Amino acid sequence: MPTSATLFRHLFVYGTLLSASKHPMAEFLRQNSKLVGPGFFPGRLYDLGTYPAAVYDPEAAGFVHGELYFFPEPDPDYQTRLQTLDDYEGDEYDRIVVPIQTTDGFVLCWTYVFNQPTDSWPRISSGRFFG
């Protein structure tokens, strides 16, 4: 998996960063990137209370639904923007590249996935955090 953030300009979000969210970091994302549209990946979504946690699993029967954002080029502050999002997501999440299904096919996107045990958290069977 490539490690350079400059290779991937898309970010997939599924929780507090969704366009419908009133969270300040969602506003930060809206101001610094372009909403592309909906997408999903195979996996599981868990309810951690005020925010969700996603696990990417190519073999999963269910899906995690969310939205794609794009960071246009040139953007000299792209790395700084990603670092701001990394800091917001904290140590519970890893930013990895995941193939996201869209209406136009697959797009490789940065996605924050939960890196902690999920046994004690309720699963969100719809795969959607809002609604």
Domain span at residue 29 reads: 5-114
pLDDT digits (tens, 9 = 90+) for 42-68: 999 999 999 999 999 999 999 999 999
Whole-number CA gyration radius for the chain: 14
Copy the structure tokens of residue 118. 């999920």
Number of helices (H), then strands (E), in the chain? 2, 6
Q: How many domains does the chain have?
A: 1
In a domain, 18, yes or no: yes
pTM, to two decimals: 0.92
Q: Is residue 65 part of a domain?
A: yes
Residue 111's nearest CA partner among 129, 98, 124, 127 is 98
Taking only the tens place, the pLDDT of each residue in 7-48 is: 689 999 999 999 999 999 999 999 999 999 999 999 999 999
Kindly report the CATH number assigned to the domain that includes residue 22.
3.10.490.10
Asked, for residue 30, whether it belongs to a domain, the answer is yes
Nearest to 94 by CA among 86, 102, 84, 104: 86
CA distance 66 to 17: 9
In a domain? residue 69: yes
